[in-house]
Amino acid sequence: MRNFILIIRRFFNLILFVGLEIVCFILIAHSRTLQGDDIVSSANTAIGIAYQKQTDLVYYINLGKMNDTLLSENVRLRKLVDQYTTLDTLKDTLVHKALTNTDTTVHIIKYADYRYRTAKVINNSVDGVNNYITIDRGSKHGIVKGMAVISSTGLVGRVEYVSANFASILSILSNKQQVSAKLKDGTFKSTVWDNEHPDVFMMKDMPPELKIKRGDSVFTTPYGNTFPADVLIGRVAKVELTKKNGKQQLYLTPATNFRNLQYVYVIENLMSEERKQLEELPAKK
Amino acid sequence: MNIYLKNFLRFCIIVLLQVFILNNITLHWFTNPAGALFNPFIYPIFILLLPFETPVWVLLVLGFLLGVTVDAFMTTAGMHACATLLVAYLRTNVLNALMPRNLSEYINQQPSVKNMGWTPFLVYSGFLLLLHHIVFFSIESWSVAGFGPLLMKIGASLVTSMLFVIVYILLFTRQTVTRA
């Protein structure tokens, strides 16, 4: 017993070092999955308050640019409203499209599926392997884990950690989540990020017979339960033919400028719970 | 000033500096245009500047606290803590190798350019920062696929971090005035 205590005293520093490193690795391992717990995250209240103070100080600088994006968004929304006012005024969403069904026996009016909340970005990163954005809305304002987040120009990410007043969003600049995406003609595939460039996304292994041009838009699909359909992800910047398997590889420029995000919209999908229950039914049997 | 109060204030200042100023500086040195982005890190300098006779276990605990604080701000869950612990653990050994006398003889002194000289101090901080950057960036990317870019990232980030460390040293330590 005496020897044991002596050994511990002799190697106390090494044991403490290894012990603390193990704690670190447990924290890292927890955070590497989408379901991981938020033990240490910027959604913490104290850190959220600190970031908010910083944002209050510096956000004046970008006001002009923000005005421009809001104006252009207003123009786009106005156009959309003009299209829809004659069709259906019950909808309060821009994402959901009006039914243009020629079959008159099926007459369904769908009410709004989505609810929008605005939020101010108080912390933002573009240089990590998984990038997080902290916003000043939390569970108090109805934010729930898993909600989709868009900016005025395109897709941003999904809510991952929530505290009372703040939430942190895993942006699509991340190797943890892939986004199901489609081209104009309906071919779908998921986008991947190459962990390096905040201005480049890729879509790999597109069939070679597809005619894809520079500047084609890429939208989200309705297949996943997280993101609403038809939100702009980005535009094709380059089409490349991989020699190895003769398939096309697309490089996209994201529609959202992740470097100067200031305001985002958090989207609550009102039908998500019902859909999840329905889709889990066959798995139970 | 009391040495505990002084180091506590330094902890706060360095964390604020790192989180609110340096984290907003994104670099893309040596990478293709609009290429990989990364930050300079100077917060390990808090561990480097603690007094000579600080026991290793105190260094480890402080290093862990510092790392977790930075982690919490950057949502990196343990990556910075992991790298900072290594710096804290090896600090005493590196100092022993570089200093001419036994560390216990430097009472109430902290490592600085004044009592170490420029070259030993730069070797000391450069070596430990290099270890910190290697550990942090490898854990962050967690793959051997992008080995070349990873080395670039470590190298370029280290150079920038060292620049900031030198600026910090010049700004915040008292210089001895020498007149010819």
Residue (of B171, B175, B155) closest to B40 by Cα position: B155
DSSP of A9-67: HHTHHHHHHHHHHHHHHHHHHHHTSTT---SS-TTSHHHHHHHHHHHHHHGGGGHHHHH
Say yes or no for a CB contact (<8 Å) between B60 and A13: yes
Q: Quick one: pLDDT at residue B36?
A: 56
By the 8 A CB rule, do B60 and A13 touch? Answer: yes
pLDDT-based confidence at A185, cuts 50/70/90?
A: confident
Residue (of A266, A265, A259) closest to A65 by Cα position: A259
Q: Alpha-carbon distance A251 to A212, whole Å?
A: 11
Residue (of B167, B143, B147) closest to B155 by Cα position: B147
Strand, helix or coil for residue B122: helix
Q: Does A199 touch chain B (CB under 8 A)?
A: yes
Token pair 């000391």 in the structure block, residue: B124
Q: Does A45 touch chain B (CB under 8 A)?
A: no
Between A16 and A95, whose confidence is greater? A16
Say yes or no for a CB contact (<8 Å) between A21 and B146: no
Distances (CA, A) of A75 to A7, A71, A82, A150, A262: 73, 6, 11, 17, 19
Q: Quick one: pLDDT at residue A93?
A: 46
Residue of B nearest to A21 (CA): B82
DSSP state of A97: P
Q: What is the pLDDT of residues A205-216, one digit of tens each?
A: 888 888 888 888
A268, exposed or middle or buried, with CB in 10 Å at 0-12, 13-18, 19+? middle
Say yes or no for a CB contact (<8 Å) between A197 and B20: no
Neighboring chain A residues of B68 at a CB cutoff of 8 Å: 40
Residue A88 has pLDDT above 50, yes or no: no
Q: Alpha-carbon distance A179 to A182, whole Å?
A: 10
pLDDT-based confidence at B144, cuts 50/70/90?
A: low
Residue B35 has pLDDT above 70, yes or no: no
C-alpha angle with apex B105: B104 to B107, nearest 5 degrees?
85
Q: Which of A28, A197, A199 sits opposite B139 (nearest CB)?
A: A28
For A:223-282, CB contacts with B below 8 A are: none
Q: Alpha-carbon distance B128 to B48, whole Å?
A: 8
Strand partners, A132: A170
Strand partners, A201: A193, A252
Token pair 């992740």 in the structure block, residue: A258
H or E element, residue A156: strand A155-162
Residue A111 has pLDDT above 70, yes or no: no
Q: Which of A17, A31, A200 sits opposite B77 (nearest CB)?
A: A31
H or E element, residue A3: helix A2-10
Neighboring chain B residues of A12 at a CB cutoff of 8 Å: 57
The CB-side HSE value for B132 (13 A sphere, CA atoms) comes to: 30
pLDDT-based confidence at A34, cuts 50/70/90?
A: low
Q: Mean pLDDT: which of A94-108, A109-123, B80-94 is highest?
A: B80-94
Residue A79 has pLDDT above 70, yes or no: no
ipTM: 0.80
User: Closest approach of chain A CAs to the CA of B2, in angstroms?
Assistant: 27
| Number of other CB atoms surrounding residue A126 within 10 Å | 18
